[in-house]
Structure 1
Amino acid sequence: MEENMEHANLNVLFQEKRQQLNHFASQFTNDYDEKEDLVQETFIRALKSVHNFINDPKLMTWLYVIMKNIYINQYRREKRKHLIYEEYIHTDYFNSVSKNLNEDKMIQDDIQKALASVSADNAEIFKLYLDGYKYHEIAEAFNLPEGTVKSRIHQTRKTLQQKLKMYQQS
């Protein structure tokens, strides 16, 4: 009963703050869907510690900082994803000069097969890395030491290079 009341109070609090958060999100993007995602992700992250700020006059400042950090991390992930994509798909690493869609599909299929050849955990760790997550974030998610995560990413990268060596230019 008490837990349900707490959830109801949080729901009311978040509904009250939604308009302000939408305004904050407008500072980062004009895309409606991206703004909604940013507000939702802010609420999700805030739930972990909202009890510390519920009656704090700095609640909106705290929520704004969360939102800003989410936006910055997403920007970095997209940038890293683009750089990694360029490294693995459009640079000298792969001989993908042809714009033929069938060839591109074949390359994508080969990448997926190579990724499927590593353990499911290592594949997931590598995908998170490609998505821009930091080593410490991945380590926390998998309850592993950061060094283990770095080693697994390195090993997965080496395995993929070996399995995809046919695309390397001489």
Structure 2
Amino acid sequence: MDGPVDLKNRVLAWLADEFNVSVKSLPKNAPLDWAIKAETQAPVKVALVVQKPRGRDVVAVTIGIALSPKHREALSKLSPGAREEFAVTLLTELMAMCPHCRVVAQPNPRDLHTILISRELYSEDITRQALMDASVTLVNMFLFTVLKLNQISQTARTPRGVEEGYM
């Protein structure tokens, strides 16, 4: 098995072929050996992080999806039950896209601010293909989430003409 630095250099080289990459500086007490930020090329920029937890024989590919103020406002117009139903449906669809991913709603489904998605690759599974597959899957999950949130934003708007008193 590779040491942490060898693995880091391999992963960095693989990611650099497909993404804009940068090595993240970590605080001394971070529970990570290393972390690499990878960002898709224009026109749609999506960032993910590939990290090696200290003391574990695994690499985690992680993406965080922070809801925009527009999306949070649209969700706030729904009843608490409808917000929870939307979040549960969205999370279920994300888990179906990647059954091996961890999908977490923060702080909770009724007050959704962020969705964290992580896919772990164990040492025997860390190949260029596995890393690219995990990365592309997470980018697709990000885009899917934005599209679903845009749908909610469209339906949460007042129909044109209602504010003027006619339809």
TM-score per shorter chain, which class? 0.3 to 0.5
Considering fraction of residues, name the structure with more helix: 1
Q: Give TM-score scaled by structure 1 length.
A: 0.36
Q: Give TM-score scaled by structure 2 length.
A: 0.36
Considering fraction of residues, name the structure with more strand: 2
